[in-house]
Chain A
Protein backbone atom coordinates (compact mmCIF):
# COMPACT_ATOMS: atom_id res chain seq x y z
CA UNK A 1 0.00 0.00 0.00
CA UNK A 2 1.08 3.50 -0.75
CA UNK A 3 2.48 5.93 1.80
CA UNK A 4 0.26 8.63 3.26
CA UNK A 5 1.08 11.79 1.31
CA UNK A 6 -1.10 13.73 3.76
CA UNK A 7 0.75 12.52 6.88
CA UNK A 8 2.03 16.02 7.70
CA UNK A 9 -1.56 17.30 7.87
CA UNK A 10 -0.39 20.53 6.26
CA UNK A 11 -3.05 20.65 3.55
CA UNK A 12 -6.31 22.22 4.68
CA UNK A 13 -9.80 23.09 3.52
CA UNK A 14 -10.57 26.69 4.47
CA UNK A 15 -14.05 27.17 3.00
CA UNK A 16 -17.07 25.27 1.75
CA UNK A 17 -19.90 26.50 -0.42
CA UNK A 18 -22.98 25.05 -2.05
CA UNK A 19 -26.13 26.09 -3.85
CA UNK A 20 -29.62 24.79 -3.32
CA UNK A 21 -30.36 21.53 -5.11
CA UNK A 22 -33.23 21.85 -7.57
CA UNK A 23 -34.95 19.63 -10.07
CA UNK A 24 -34.60 21.09 -13.59
CA UNK A 25 -33.37 24.50 -12.43
CA UNK A 26 -32.82 25.59 -16.02
CA UNK A 27 -29.30 26.69 -15.04
CA UNK A 28 -26.07 25.44 -16.59
CA UNK A 29 -23.23 23.76 -14.72
CA UNK A 30 -21.13 26.87 -15.39
CA UNK A 31 -23.75 29.15 -13.83
CA UNK A 32 -24.06 26.89 -10.79
CA UNK A 33 -20.26 26.80 -10.44
CA UNK A 34 -20.11 30.59 -10.58
CA UNK A 35 -22.55 30.81 -7.68
CA UNK A 36 -20.35 28.50 -5.61
CA UNK A 37 -17.21 30.46 -6.51
CA UNK A 38 -18.84 33.73 -5.41
CA UNK A 39 -19.71 32.15 -2.06
CA UNK A 40 -16.19 30.76 -1.61
CA UNK A 41 -14.60 34.12 -2.45
CA UNK A 42 -16.84 35.87 0.09
CA UNK A 43 -15.94 33.34 2.77
CA UNK A 44 -12.18 33.53 2.19
CA UNK A 45 -11.64 37.15 1.16
CA UNK A 46 -9.86 35.90 -1.96
CA UNK A 47 -10.61 37.23 -5.44
CA UNK A 48 -10.92 35.21 -8.62
CA UNK A 49 -7.48 36.59 -9.56
CA UNK A 50 -5.99 34.68 -6.59
CA UNK A 51 -7.21 31.30 -7.81
CA UNK A 52 -4.40 29.46 -9.60
CA UNK A 53 -5.54 25.89 -9.14
CA UNK A 54 -8.95 24.70 -10.31
CA UNK A 55 -10.41 21.21 -10.25
CA UNK A 56 -13.74 20.28 -11.80
CA UNK A 57 -15.82 17.16 -12.10
CA UNK A 58 -17.18 16.03 -15.46
CA UNK A 59 -20.91 16.75 -15.34
CA UNK A 60 -23.55 14.65 -17.07
CA UNK A 61 -24.80 17.85 -18.61
CA UNK A 62 -21.42 18.60 -20.24
CA UNK A 63 -20.37 15.20 -21.54
CA UNK A 64 -20.43 16.45 -25.11
CA UNK A 65 -18.11 19.35 -24.31
CA UNK A 66 -14.41 18.49 -24.60
CA UNK A 67 -13.45 22.02 -23.50
CA UNK A 68 -15.54 22.17 -20.35
CA UNK A 69 -12.74 23.16 -17.96
CA UNK A 70 -11.33 25.71 -20.42
CA UNK A 71 -14.72 27.31 -20.95
CA UNK A 72 -15.29 27.31 -17.20
CA UNK A 73 -12.14 29.27 -16.32
CA UNK A 74 -12.86 31.70 -19.19
CA UNK A 75 -16.32 32.30 -17.75
CA UNK A 76 -15.04 32.78 -14.21
CA UNK A 77 -12.02 34.97 -14.99
CA UNK A 78 -9.57 32.46 -13.57
CA UNK A 79 -6.01 32.17 -14.83
CA UNK A 80 -5.22 28.58 -13.97
CA UNK A 81 -1.69 27.25 -13.57
CA UNK A 82 -3.09 23.87 -12.62
CA UNK A 83 -6.38 22.73 -14.16
CA UNK A 84 -7.96 19.37 -13.57
CA UNK A 85 -11.13 17.58 -14.64
CA UNK A 86 -11.98 14.29 -12.98
CA UNK A 87 -14.41 11.73 -14.36
CA UNK A 88 -14.68 9.01 -11.74
CA UNK A 89 -18.37 9.60 -11.17
CA UNK A 90 -19.55 10.54 -7.70
CA UNK A 91 -16.02 9.93 -6.46
CA UNK A 92 -14.72 12.87 -8.47
CA UNK A 93 -15.63 15.42 -5.81
CA UNK A 94 -13.49 13.98 -3.06
CA UNK A 95 -10.94 12.77 -5.61
CA UNK A 96 -10.40 16.38 -6.63
CA UNK A 97 -9.58 17.39 -3.07
CA UNK A 98 -6.83 14.78 -3.04
CA UNK A 99 -5.61 15.79 -6.50
CA UNK A 100 -5.62 19.42 -5.40
CA UNK A 101 -3.67 18.47 -2.28
CA UNK A 102 -1.08 16.74 -4.46
CA UNK A 103 -0.81 19.83 -6.67
CA UNK A 104 -0.31 22.01 -3.59
CA UNK A 105 2.33 19.61 -2.26
CA UNK A 106 4.14 19.83 -5.61
CA UNK A 107 3.99 23.62 -5.67
CA UNK A 108 1.86 23.66 -8.81
CA UNK A 109 -0.73 25.95 -7.21
CA UNK A 110 -1.34 28.06 -4.10
CA UNK A 111 -5.12 28.14 -3.87
CA UNK A 112 -7.05 25.24 -5.31
CA UNK A 113 -10.78 25.64 -5.86
CA UNK A 114 -12.52 22.29 -6.23
CA UNK A 115 -15.98 22.84 -7.68
CA UNK A 116 -18.52 20.20 -8.54
CA UNK A 117 -21.61 21.18 -10.49
CA UNK A 118 -24.13 19.39 -12.62
CA UNK A 119 -27.37 20.28 -14.32
CA UNK A 120 -28.80 16.98 -15.56
CA UNK A 121 -31.99 18.91 -16.27
CA UNK A 122 -30.11 20.06 -19.37
CA UNK A 123 -28.52 16.76 -20.26
CA UNK A 124 -27.58 16.50 -23.92
CA UNK A 125 -28.21 13.38 -25.98
CA UNK A 126 -24.83 12.02 -26.97
CA UNK A 127 -23.83 8.75 -28.55
CA UNK A 128 -20.91 7.08 -26.88
CA UNK A 129 -19.33 3.81 -27.90
CA UNK A 130 -19.03 1.60 -24.86
CA UNK A 131 -20.31 -1.65 -23.48
CA UNK A 132 -23.19 0.14 -21.81
CA UNK A 133 -24.86 1.22 -25.03
CA UNK A 134 -24.08 -2.10 -26.73
CA UNK A 135 -24.64 -4.71 -24.08
CA UNK A 136 -26.78 -3.12 -21.39
CA UNK A 137 -29.20 -0.66 -22.97
CA UNK A 138 -29.99 -3.11 -25.77
CA UNK A 139 -31.63 -5.45 -23.26
CA UNK A 140 -33.37 -2.66 -21.35
CA UNK A 141 -30.74 -2.21 -18.64
CA UNK A 142 -31.67 1.15 -17.18
CA UNK A 143 -28.22 1.95 -15.73
CA UNK A 144 -28.11 2.23 -11.95
CA UNK A 145 -31.81 1.45 -11.52
CA UNK A 146 -31.15 -2.07 -12.78
CA UNK A 147 -27.66 -2.39 -11.30
CA UNK A 148 -28.88 -1.64 -7.79
CA UNK A 149 -32.05 -3.69 -8.29
CA UNK A 150 -29.87 -6.71 -9.07
CA UNK A 151 -27.58 -5.90 -6.18
CA UNK A 152 -30.50 -5.63 -3.74
CA UNK A 153 -31.76 -9.01 -4.94
CA UNK A 154 -28.32 -10.60 -4.65
CA UNK A 155 -27.86 -9.18 -1.13
CA UNK A 156 -31.23 -10.54 -0.10
CA UNK A 157 -30.27 -13.94 -1.45
CA UNK A 158 -26.88 -13.98 0.27
CA UNK A 159 -27.69 -12.45 3.64
CA UNK A 160 -31.44 -11.93 3.81
CA UNK A 161 -32.73 -8.39 3.73
CA UNK A 162 -35.68 -7.00 5.65
CA UNK A 163 -37.30 -4.16 3.71
CA UNK A 164 -38.16 -2.54 7.07
CA UNK A 165 -34.45 -2.18 7.78
CA UNK A 166 -33.84 -0.33 4.52
CA UNK A 167 -36.93 1.72 5.37
CA UNK A 168 -35.29 2.90 8.57
CA UNK A 169 -32.27 4.00 6.57
CA UNK A 170 -34.56 5.86 4.16
CA UNK A 171 -36.19 7.63 7.11
CA UNK A 172 -32.94 8.82 8.70
CA UNK A 173 -31.62 9.87 5.31
CA UNK A 174 -34.78 11.91 4.73
CA UNK A 175 -34.47 13.45 8.18
CA UNK A 176 -31.15 14.88 7.01
CA UNK A 177 -32.88 16.46 4.02
CA UNK A 178 -35.55 17.96 6.27
CA UNK A 179 -32.82 19.73 8.26
CA UNK A 180 -30.97 20.92 5.16
CA UNK A 181 -32.33 24.07 3.52
CA UNK A 182 -30.31 23.29 0.41
CA UNK A 183 -32.00 19.92 -0.11
CA UNK A 184 -34.51 19.57 -2.95
CA UNK A 185 -37.77 21.14 -1.71
CA UNK A 186 -40.04 18.24 -2.49
CA UNK A 187 -37.81 15.95 -0.42
CA UNK A 188 -37.93 18.17 2.67
CA UNK A 189 -40.94 16.33 4.08
CA UNK A 190 -40.47 13.58 6.67
CA UNK A 191 -41.35 10.02 5.69
CA UNK A 192 -42.14 6.90 7.67
CA UNK A 193 -41.03 3.31 7.22
CA UNK A 194 -44.53 2.61 5.86
CA UNK A 195 -44.07 5.33 3.24
CA UNK A 196 -40.92 3.51 2.18
CA UNK A 197 -42.63 0.11 2.10
CA UNK A 198 -45.57 1.52 0.11
CA UNK A 199 -43.43 3.35 -2.43
CA UNK A 200 -43.75 1.79 -5.86
CA UNK A 201 -41.35 -0.78 -7.17
CA UNK A 202 -38.84 0.55 -9.65
CA UNK A 203 -36.66 -2.50 -10.23
CA UNK A 204 -38.25 -5.01 -7.90
CA UNK A 205 -37.13 -5.69 -5.17
CA UNK A 206 -35.89 -2.08 -5.25
CA UNK A 207 -38.41 0.65 -4.47
CA UNK A 208 -38.65 4.28 -5.48
CA UNK A 209 -37.51 5.38 -2.02
CA UNK A 210 -34.36 3.26 -2.36
CA UNK A 211 -33.24 5.49 -5.19
CA UNK A 212 -31.20 8.63 -5.60
CA UNK A 213 -32.78 11.23 -7.81
CA UNK A 214 -31.22 13.49 -10.38
CA UNK A 215 -31.14 17.15 -9.52
CA UNK A 216 -29.19 20.25 -10.44
CA UNK A 217 -26.73 21.54 -7.88
CA UNK A 218 -23.19 22.51 -7.06
CA UNK A 219 -20.72 22.59 -4.21
CA UNK A 220 -17.09 23.42 -3.71
CA UNK A 221 -14.18 23.83 -1.35
CA UNK A 222 -11.04 25.92 -1.17
CA UNK A 223 -7.92 23.87 -0.48
CA UNK A 224 -4.58 25.40 0.41
CA UNK A 225 -1.54 24.83 2.60
CA UNK A 226 -1.68 25.24 6.35
CA UNK A 227 0.92 27.99 6.07
CA UNK A 228 -1.17 30.01 3.62
CA UNK A 229 -4.35 29.39 5.59
CA UNK A 230 -2.70 30.90 8.67
CA UNK A 231 -1.46 33.86 6.62
CA UNK A 232 -5.03 34.36 5.37
CA UNK A 233 -6.18 34.50 9.00
CA UNK A 234 -8.44 31.46 8.60
CA UNK A 235 -10.04 30.69 11.94
CA UNK A 236 -11.69 27.41 10.96
CA UNK A 237 -10.15 24.79 8.77
CA UNK A 238 -10.21 21.08 8.14
CA UNK A 239 -6.87 19.30 7.98
CA UNK A 240 -6.70 16.40 5.55
CA UNK A 241 -5.39 13.32 7.32
CA UNK A 242 -5.46 10.58 4.70
CA UNK A 243 -6.91 9.51 1.40
CA UNK A 244 -7.28 6.28 -0.50
CA UNK A 245 -8.71 5.58 -3.93
CA UNK A 246 -9.22 2.61 -6.22
CA UNK A 247 -10.91 2.26 -9.60
CA UNK A 248 -11.85 -1.00 -11.34
CA UNK A 249 -11.24 -3.19 -8.33
CA UNK A 250 -10.30 -6.81 -9.10
CA UNK A 251 -10.43 -6.39 -12.89
CA UNK A 252 -9.77 -10.02 -13.78
CA UNK A 253 -12.74 -11.30 -11.83
CA UNK A 254 -15.37 -11.85 -14.51
CA UNK A 255 -18.02 -12.96 -12.04
CA UNK A 256 -17.63 -10.65 -9.02
CA UNK A 257 -20.16 -11.38 -6.31
CA UNK A 258 -20.82 -7.66 -5.92
CA UNK A 259 -19.99 -7.71 -2.24
CA UNK A 260 -16.25 -7.67 -2.65
CA UNK A 261 -15.50 -4.14 -3.81
CA UNK A 262 -12.81 -1.52 -3.59
CA UNK A 263 -14.37 -0.12 -0.43
CA UNK A 264 -12.92 -3.00 1.54
CA UNK A 265 -9.48 -1.88 0.34
CA UNK A 266 -9.70 1.89 0.55
CA UNK A 267 -11.75 2.05 3.77
CA UNK A 268 -9.27 0.20 5.97
CA UNK A 269 -6.35 1.77 4.04
CA UNK A 270 -7.47 5.36 4.66
CA UNK A 271 -8.18 4.62 8.31
CA UNK A 272 -4.81 2.92 8.79
CA UNK A 273 -2.99 5.84 7.20
CA UNK A 274 -4.78 8.20 9.57
CA UNK A 275 -3.94 5.96 12.53
CA UNK A 276 -7.62 5.27 13.13
CA UNK A 277 -10.06 2.38 13.35
CA UNK A 278 -13.78 2.49 12.49
CA UNK A 279 -14.50 2.88 16.21
CA UNK A 280 -12.62 6.21 16.21
CA UNK A 281 -14.90 7.75 13.59
CA UNK A 282 -17.44 10.22 14.96
CA UNK A 283 -18.83 11.37 11.64
CA UNK A 284 -19.23 9.51 8.39
CA UNK A 285 -20.29 11.24 5.19
CA UNK A 286 -20.95 8.70 2.47
CA UNK A 287 -22.36 9.61 -0.87
CA UNK A 288 -26.04 9.18 0.05
CA UNK A 289 -26.49 6.75 -2.73
CA UNK A 290 -29.04 4.02 -3.40
CA UNK A 291 -29.77 2.56 0.03
CA UNK A 292 -28.19 -0.80 -0.74
CA UNK A 293 -24.95 0.97 -1.70
CA UNK A 294 -24.83 2.88 1.58
CA UNK A 295 -25.30 -0.37 3.40
CA UNK A 296 -22.41 -1.97 1.52
CA UNK A 297 -20.15 0.99 2.29
CA UNK A 298 -20.91 0.71 5.99
CA UNK A 299 -20.07 -2.99 5.88
CA UNK A 300 -17.00 -2.86 3.72
CA UNK A 301 -15.30 0.10 5.36
CA UNK A 302 -15.69 -1.80 8.61
CA UNK A 303 -18.45 -0.06 10.56
CA UNK A 304 -20.41 -3.28 10.86
CA UNK A 305 -20.05 -6.92 9.97
CA UNK A 306 -20.97 -8.28 6.56
CA UNK A 307 -24.58 -9.17 6.18
CA UNK A 308 -25.58 -7.57 9.46
CA UNK A 309 -28.08 -5.52 7.54
CA UNK A 310 -28.50 -1.87 8.17
CA UNK A 311 -27.74 -1.44 11.85
CA UNK A 312 -30.36 1.28 12.14
CA UNK A 313 -28.96 2.61 15.42
CA UNK A 314 -25.54 3.20 13.92
CA UNK A 315 -27.06 4.64 10.77
CA UNK A 316 -29.13 7.09 12.80
CA UNK A 317 -26.07 8.17 14.68
CA UNK A 318 -23.95 8.97 11.68
CA UNK A 319 -26.73 10.63 9.77
CA UNK A 320 -27.57 12.82 12.74
CA UNK A 321 -23.93 13.79 12.97
CA UNK A 322 -23.80 14.46 9.25
CA UNK A 323 -26.30 17.26 9.69
CA UNK A 324 -24.05 19.12 12.09
CA UNK A 325 -20.82 19.40 10.14
CA UNK A 326 -19.02 18.58 6.96
CA UNK A 327 -15.55 17.80 8.24
CA UNK A 328 -13.90 14.68 6.83
CA UNK A 329 -11.18 13.27 9.04
CA UNK A 330 -10.39 10.47 6.65
CA UNK A 331 -11.49 10.28 3.08
CA UNK A 332 -12.43 7.23 1.10
CA UNK A 333 -13.54 7.05 -2.46
CA UNK A 334 -14.23 4.08 -4.65
CA UNK A 335 -16.33 4.26 -7.79
CA UNK A 336 -18.77 1.40 -8.23
CA UNK A 337 -17.61 -0.89 -10.99
CA UNK A 338 -19.63 -0.21 -14.07
CA UNK A 339 -19.97 -3.77 -15.28
CA UNK A 340 -22.72 -5.91 -13.78
CA UNK A 341 -23.81 -5.21 -11.39
Chain B
Protein backbone atom coordinates (compact mmCIF):
# COMPACT_ATOMS: atom_id res chain seq x y z
CA UNK B 1 0.00 0.00 0.00
CA UNK B 2 1.33 3.41 -0.94
CA UNK B 3 2.30 5.76 1.85
CA UNK B 4 0.00 8.76 2.18
CA UNK B 5 1.54 11.90 0.71
CA UNK B 6 0.88 13.95 3.81
CA UNK B 7 1.12 12.45 7.27
CA UNK B 8 -0.90 13.80 10.16
CA UNK B 9 1.01 15.88 12.67
CA UNK B 10 1.69 14.09 15.94
CA UNK B 11 -0.82 14.92 18.64
CA UNK B 12 -0.13 14.74 22.35
CA UNK B 13 -1.55 11.82 24.29
CA UNK B 14 -1.89 13.29 27.79
CA UNK B 15 -1.02 11.33 30.89
CA UNK B 16 -2.56 11.86 34.32
CA UNK B 17 0.44 14.06 35.01
CA UNK B 18 0.25 16.20 31.88
CA UNK B 19 -3.54 16.40 31.42
CA UNK B 20 -3.86 19.72 33.35
CA UNK B 21 -1.33 21.29 30.98
CA UNK B 22 -3.25 20.28 27.87
CA UNK B 23 -6.66 21.07 29.39
CA UNK B 24 -5.43 24.57 30.22
CA UNK B 25 -4.03 24.88 26.71
CA UNK B 26 -7.49 24.29 25.28
CA UNK B 27 -8.64 27.32 27.32
CA UNK B 28 -5.75 29.37 25.94
CA UNK B 29 -3.69 29.27 29.10
CA UNK B 30 -0.04 28.23 29.38
CA UNK B 31 0.39 26.56 32.76
CA UNK B 32 3.50 25.31 34.50
CA UNK B 33 3.97 22.97 37.43
CA UNK B 34 5.12 24.71 40.61
CA UNK B 35 6.65 23.21 43.73
CA UNK B 36 5.60 25.46 46.66
CA UNK B 37 8.16 23.83 48.97
CA UNK B 38 11.10 24.57 46.70
CA UNK B 39 9.43 27.73 45.30
CA UNK B 40 10.41 26.63 41.82
CA UNK B 41 8.77 25.79 38.52
CA UNK B 42 9.47 22.75 36.40
CA UNK B 43 8.84 21.79 32.78
CA UNK B 44 7.95 19.24 31.36
CA UNK B 45 5.22 18.02 33.77
CA UNK B 46 6.34 15.30 36.13
CA UNK B 47 4.64 13.20 38.79
CA UNK B 48 6.90 14.68 41.51
CA UNK B 49 9.00 17.78 42.04
CA UNK B 50 12.51 17.35 40.67
CA UNK B 51 13.66 19.74 43.41
CA UNK B 52 12.16 18.22 46.53
CA UNK B 53 10.76 14.85 45.46
CA UNK B 54 7.38 16.00 46.78
CA UNK B 55 4.13 15.17 44.99
CA UNK B 56 2.53 18.37 46.33
CA UNK B 57 2.63 20.26 43.07
CA UNK B 58 0.53 23.20 41.91
CA UNK B 59 -0.29 24.51 38.45
CA UNK B 60 0.36 28.20 37.85
CA UNK B 61 -0.12 30.28 34.74
CA UNK B 62 3.11 31.36 33.07
CA UNK B 63 3.79 34.97 32.13
CA UNK B 64 4.39 33.98 28.53
CA UNK B 65 7.66 35.90 28.51
CA UNK B 66 11.03 34.39 27.94
CA UNK B 67 14.50 34.77 26.53
CA UNK B 68 15.63 33.17 23.31
CA UNK B 69 18.79 31.15 23.94
CA UNK B 70 19.22 29.11 20.75
CA UNK B 71 17.40 28.51 17.51
CA UNK B 72 17.64 26.19 14.56
CA UNK B 73 16.14 26.27 11.09
CA UNK B 74 14.57 22.85 10.65
CA UNK B 75 14.81 21.62 7.06
CA UNK B 76 14.38 17.88 7.55
CA UNK B 77 10.84 17.49 8.82
CA UNK B 78 9.49 15.14 11.39
CA UNK B 79 6.62 13.09 9.96
CA UNK B 80 3.61 15.40 9.69
CA UNK B 81 5.65 18.59 9.31
CA UNK B 82 6.51 18.11 5.62
CA UNK B 83 4.61 21.16 4.41
CA UNK B 84 5.94 23.47 7.11
CA UNK B 85 9.67 23.25 6.41
CA UNK B 86 11.73 25.23 6.79
CA UNK B 87 10.58 26.38 10.20
CA UNK B 88 12.34 27.75 13.24
CA UNK B 89 12.50 25.92 16.54
CA UNK B 90 13.82 27.88 19.46
CA UNK B 91 15.00 27.07 22.95
CA UNK B 92 13.48 29.67 25.25
CA UNK B 93 14.26 30.29 28.91
CA UNK B 94 10.98 31.37 30.46
CA UNK B 95 10.78 34.03 33.14
CA UNK B 96 9.67 31.29 35.52
CA UNK B 97 13.07 29.61 35.27
CA UNK B 98 12.38 26.73 32.93
CA UNK B 99 13.30 26.06 29.33
CA UNK B 100 10.91 25.11 26.58
CA UNK B 101 11.38 24.42 22.91
CA UNK B 102 8.82 26.11 20.73
CA UNK B 103 8.14 26.71 17.07
CA UNK B 104 8.54 30.39 16.33
CA UNK B 105 5.58 31.57 14.29
CA UNK B 106 5.72 34.28 11.69
CA UNK B 107 9.48 34.62 11.58
CA UNK B 108 12.10 33.25 9.25
CA UNK B 109 15.56 32.11 10.28
CA UNK B 110 17.56 35.28 10.10
CA UNK B 111 20.48 36.30 12.23
CA UNK B 112 19.47 39.94 12.28
CA UNK B 113 15.92 39.36 13.41
CA UNK B 114 16.53 36.41 15.69
CA UNK B 115 19.39 37.73 17.73
CA UNK B 116 20.26 35.51 20.64
CA UNK B 117 19.88 37.34 23.91
CA UNK B 118 22.95 38.17 25.92
CA UNK B 119 22.84 38.21 29.72
CA UNK B 120 20.64 41.10 30.84
CA UNK B 121 18.81 41.36 27.53
CA UNK B 122 15.04 41.16 27.52
CA UNK B 123 13.65 39.94 24.26
CA UNK B 124 10.10 38.91 24.59
CA UNK B 125 8.81 35.83 22.87
CA UNK B 126 5.09 36.03 22.27
CA UNK B 127 3.13 33.44 24.21
Contact = CB atoms under 8 A, between A and B. Distances in A.
A140 B97 contact: no
Interface string A137-174: 11111100110011111100100000000000000000
A153 B45 CA distance: 26
B12 A134 contact: yes
Contacts of B10: 133, 137-138
B21 to A, nearest CB: 9
A204 interface: yes
| Interface of B (DSSP majority class) | loop
A254 B99 contact: yes
A340 B101 contact: yes
A248 to B, nearest CB: 9
B75 A150 contact: no
Contact of B87 (A140, A258, A341): A140
A246 to B, nearest CB: 16
A: contact size bracket: 35 or more
B78 A204 contact: no
Contacts of A258: 70
Most buried by B among A133, A201, A258: A201
Q: Helix, strand, loop or mixed for chain A's interface? A: mixed
A205 interface: yes
B37 interface: no
Given A134-B13, A134-B14, A140-B81, A203 B91 contact: no
Contact of A146 (B14, B74, B99): B74
Contact of A203 (B41, B75, B84, B100): B75
B56 interface: no
Contact of B11 (A135, A136, A138, A203): A138
Contacts of A204: 72-73, 75, 86, 109
A131 interface: yes
A339 interface: yes
B54 interface: no
A205 B73 CA distance: 7
A255 interface: yes
Contacts of B93: 255
Given A142-B78, A254-B40, A254-B97, 6 more contacts: A127-B13, A136-B101, A140-B74, A140-B84, A150-B91, A340-B101
Interface of A: 127, 129, 131, 133-142, 145-146, 149-154, 157, 200-206, 251-252, 254-256, 258, 339-341
27 contacts: A131-B44, A131-B45, A134-B14, A134-B18, A134-B44, A135-B12, A135-B101, A137-B78, A138-B10, A139-B89, A140-B89, A141-B89, A142-B74, A145-B76, A146-B101, A149-B74, A150-B91, A154-B69, A154-B91, A157-B70, A205-B72, A251-B50, A254-B40, A255-B69, A339-B44, A340-B99, A341-B91
